[in-house]
Amino acid sequence: MRRRPPHRVSHAPRLHALAERDPRIGDVRGRGAMLAIETAAADPTLAGAVSRACHSAGLLTLTCGTYGNVLRFLPPLVIDDATLTRGLDILDEAFTTI
């Protein structure tokens, strides 16, 4: 089996680009492949709405943080590029429509 490089590099730039376009996003942070988007307001409303929209489109996300205003992402290490891109597209669409 051929080894693949970690996807941490490939999905971080998309999350940072989303944060630059959407002022409701306060921070993008993480370690390795696990990344998180924190909303600017310490209010779980936006994170919850985005999480529900993602779930409806087939993408599972976790909300976390003291105030419930953080969306956490940890894609499987064996995820293929097309699936990762589709997940990021779903997330982008959720932020765009809410």
Triad 37, 42, 45: Cα angle to 5°: 80
> 35 is written with which tokens?
């990344």
SS3 assignment, position 61: coil
Q: Is residue 82 part of a domain?
A: yes
Let me know: does 91 contact 50? Beta carbons within 8 Å: yes
Total number of domains constituting the chain = 1
Mean pLDDT across 6-14: 70
Q: Collapsing DSSP states into helix, strand and coil, what is residue 1?
A: coil
Measure the CA–CA gap between 98 and 94, rounded to whole angstroms: 6
Domain with residue 72: its CATH number is 3.90.1150.10
54 found inside a domain: yes
Asked if the structure places residue 2 within a domain, the reply is no
Q: What is the pLDDT of residue 2?
A: 59
Q: What is the mean pLDDT of the chain?
A: 91
**Percentage, residues of the chain above pLDDT 70:** 91
**Domain annotation covers residue 19:** yes
Domain holding 35, by residue range, is 8-97
Checking if the pLDDT of 27 tops 90, the result is yes
Per the domain annotation, does 67 fall within a domain?
yes
